[in-house]
Amino acid sequence: MRLLSSLLLSSSAFVGHHFRIILTLPLHFHNFPRSVSMDSSEGSLRNALSQKQSAVEAQGNAVRALKASGAAKPEIDAAIEALNALKLDKASIEKQLQAVVSGAGGDGGLNRESFRQAVVNTLERRLFYIPSFKIYRGVAGLYDYGPPGCAVKSNVLAFWRQHFVLEENMLEVDCPCVTPEVVLKASGHVDKFTDLMVKDEKTGTCYRADHLLKDYCNEKLQKDLSISAEKAAELKHVLAVLDDLSSEQLGAKIKEYGITAPDTKNPLSDPYPFNLMFQTSIGPSGLLPGYMRPETAQGIFVNFKDLYYYNGNKLPFAAAQIGQAFRNEISPRQGLLRVREFTLAEIEHFVDPEDKSHPKFADVSNLEFLMFPREEQMSGKSARKIQLGEAVAKGTVNNETLGYFIGRVYLFLTRLGIDKDRLRFRQHLANEMAHYAADCWDAEIECSYGWIECVGIADRSAYDLHAHSEKSGVPLVAHEKFAEPREVEKLVIAPVKKELGLAFKGSQKNVVEALEAMKEKEALEMKATLESNGEVEFYVCTLGKNVLIKKSMVAISKEKKKEHQRVFTPSVIEPSFGIGRIIYCLFEHSYYLRPSKAGDEQLNVFRFPPLVAPIKCTVFPLVQNQQYEQVAKVISKSLTVAGISHKIDITGTSIGKRYARTDELGVPFAITVDSASSVTIRERDSKFQIRVNVEEAASVVKDVTDGLRTWDDVWASFPHHVSASAED
């Protein structure tokens, strides 16, 4: 699932020392233990199949032998009957095995495919999204949001601002996409933000090396039932460790399996790394290389000093940014889930590493939802409902602040309309996290592509601020002023330069620096040795050799000092949201089919909550007539004033067809004008209708849309409208 991981993990997963290792870890690594040991039924079925195959062959030989020896007919018939029985058994085992391997859990890969196709067809036909530059035959991995998609997106972002920025008083910033190289050099992206690529040796077409190997293994496992249980285990093992493979190992596997270019069957080059950033050049000189940012987080980190000042030099505080990010994927697939340009919404919550409590944790501690801790993954269990407060109390979740954001993310996603039963928080495995990270949880949403990482919530410790402090020379630190000065013991290493100069001449500087760089433990050991022996062997790495340090050359002591403040690099807790992925999953979770009234067709519906719905309300004159149209216009004007996005449909189409059209866009309410004084309001999912006065119509819709009243409440307060003919 590296396939899905790079959109989102942003700085939470691909930055840092263990870059390559982190980059290449499978997102679905948690399936690993189960996968390698293999589902017991799958393993025994493969064994049974292979035994049955041998039995069929043996019995076939027996039949042929009987025939050749001219045996009696009854004897031959009996042998043939036995052969047929064996074949039937084999077919039955094949069928069972097929079900196991294709189902990814038994619910049927094919159903998922066709469900997805139905959703995507509706989405594309109604312009929720469109392949970009379609009239020029498009570009892989680039999509436009059409009118309803664009409205959903801006609703999601507005709610994100309300739920996070406003609620937490976050400092929102807006930085450019064009980023000079030095920034992304410091963050590690220039050197390490790569995928391994192979080229068709004849046509030059590029492929992601791990994708080809993965496709090969999956294809073999799903379509070739004749492979042995051992071979199947091997392929599954490859899938599990796929992203841990080095360039050389990947290349070797591709050779071993004889994998060729999918389109041409030509041989492939060895894998080599390809940087995923779009490169450009800033200014006219060609001397200032730049990149389109692969995440928005860096813009916040480089501004830490100013933001900390803006916040009155106080911790904790959070900064946030919504904006475009860019990744030049080698060969994008999976529609909106893996794209070359996408909207990220990122939060960097800066906190004192010695105090990660959160004052509002109590607000979320009683929430209970699907969590998937590290241990559960390793022991092959499934995600289970855990109370958030308990998870933090037991240390499953590292700290309160991380826990608080997990809870807030849960509320955010479910309020958007994500099904809570298809949402889980999965903890990164120890080797899946960057070395500096304290803990990391992904909000994963299940859709037709499997469990998709949509939000990453990571405690990244002080890594990013450190990296930029070092590269820029500007200290990105926080201060804690003590109410009263504190006495602290400090190690003081004082090299005696005169003595060192006499002894080491030109190498004096290297020795001085090495002495000053000693850690406390090492220094105290040297002090002890010098006091007992008068001299000590000391390794100076910049000289590559030991030197002899005498007692006169360095004074080591512990001194008491008064300190008035503590200076430290804050930790950062980073919730990072892949907005496009969340929206795509929301589309799938909101989609359903229901029969038309006549029962002759299945109609598409999106059950978006009003918060998300692209249009909140449609206004229909029941029949084409000037009076009704006038009323519709009056209502439309009130809706505009109330800030409710809506649409009038005055076509002569039947009211049933118009309802269907509006359901397919996920419009929650429809006002039908069937008199000059009162109208009906229909709720999309129940199809129930109430009758209200013309003057009230807009405000009722506004109240329900803004969440001031529920539909149930409205339903209880107004006369119900029952129509024999209006509904389709």
Instruction: Report if residue 175 touches its own copies, rule: CB under 8 A.
Output: yes
| Structure tokens, 276 | 């995923």
Instruction: Report if residue 172 touches its own copies, rule: CB under 8 A.
Output: yes
Judged by CB under 8 A, how many residues of this single chain contact its own copies? 82
332 vs 380, which CB is nearer to its own copies?
Answer: 332
Rounded Cα gap, residues 108 and 614, in angstroms? 32
- In this chain, which stretch among 18-26, 80-88, 146-154, 362-370 interacts with its own copies, using CB under 8 A? 146-154
Rounded Cα gap, residues 316 and 350, in angstroms? 5
Q: Which of 52, 90, 236, 340 binds its own copies (CB under 8 A)?
A: 340
Instruction: Report if residue 640 touches its own copies, rule: CB under 8 A.
Output: yes
Q: Which of 105, 106, 283, 506 binds its own copies (CB under 8 A)?
A: 283
Q: Which of 58, 140, 716, 722 binds its own copies (CB under 8 A)?
A: 140
Q: Which of residues 420-449 bind its own copies (CB under 8 A)?
A: none
Please give the backbone phi and psi of residue 264, each rounded to the nearest 5 degrees, phi first.
-115, -15
Q: Which of 305, 551, 597, 709 binds its own copies (CB under 8 A)?
A: 305
Rounded Cα gap, residues 498 and 492, in angstroms? 18
Please say whether the beta carbons of 360 and 381 come within 8 A.
no
Instruction: Report if residue 352 touches its own copies, rule: CB under 8 A.
Output: no
Q: Please state at what angle helix 497-504 crosses helix 508-516, rounded to 10 degrees.
A: 130
Q: Which of residues 652-691 bind its own copies (CB under 8 A)?
A: none
Q: Which of 85, 91, 99, 139 binds its own copies (CB under 8 A)?
A: 139
273 vs 353, which CB is nearer to its own copies?
Answer: 273
Q: Which of residues 500-529 bind its own copies (CB under 8 A)?
A: none
- In this chain, which stretch among 100-108, 241-249, 278-286, 513-521 interacts with its own copies, using CB under 8 A? 278-286
- Within 302-457, residue ranges assigned H as helices are 304-310, 374-378, 388-393, 400-416
Please say whether the beta carbons of 401 and 409 come within 8 A.
no
Query: Parallel, antiparallel, or unpaired for β 194-199 and 178-180?
Result: unpaired
Instruction: Report if residue 197 touches its own copies, rule: CB under 8 A.
Output: yes
Site map (CB under 8 A) of its own copies, residues 109-138, x = contact: -----------------xx--x-xxxxx--
Q: Apex CA 151: angle with CA 632 and CA 588, to 5°?
A: 110
272 vs 482, which CB is nearer to its own copies?
Answer: 272
Please say whether the beta carbons of 156 and 583 come within 8 A.
yes
296 vs 448, which CB is nearer to its own copies?
Answer: 296
Query: Parallel, antiparallel, or unpaired for β 423-427 and 368-372?
Result: parallel
Q: Please state at what angle helix 579-590 crosses helix 400-416, rounded to 10 degrees.
A: 50
Please say whether the beta carbons of 511 and 500 come within 8 A.
yes
Rounded Cα gap, residues 290 and 282, in angstroms? 6
Q: Which of 79, 93, 190, 292 binds its own copies (CB under 8 A)?
A: 292
| Structure tokens, 513 | 């620096």
Q: Which of 70, 106, 258, 312 binds its own copies (CB under 8 A)?
A: 312
Instruction: Report if residue 643 touches its own copies, rule: CB under 8 A.
Output: yes
228 vs 324, which CB is nearer to its own copies?
Answer: 324
142 vs 496, which CB is nearer to its own copies?
Answer: 142
- For 57-62, which contacts have Cβ atoms below 8 Å and span 24 or more sequence positions? 59/83, 59/86
Instruction: Report if residue 1 touches its own copies, rule: CB under 8 A.
Output: no
Q: Please state at what angle helix 694-705 crosses helix 626-641, rounded to 10 degrees.
A: 40
340 vs 428, which CB is nearer to its own copies?
Answer: 340
Instruction: Report if residue 284 touches its own copies, rule: CB under 8 A.
Output: yes
Q: Which of 44, 53, 98, 205 binds its own copies (CB under 8 A)?
A: 205
- The distance of closest approach from Cβ of residue 86 to its own copies in the complex, given in angstroms and rounded to an integer, is 51
- In this chain, which stretch among 28-36, 172-180, 535-543, 620-628 interacts with its own copies, using CB under 8 A? 172-180
What is the CA 138 to chain-centroid distance, rounded? Answer: 25
Rounded Cα gap, residues 505 and 499, in angstroms? 10
Instruction: Report if residue 143 touches its own copies, rule: CB under 8 A.
Output: yes
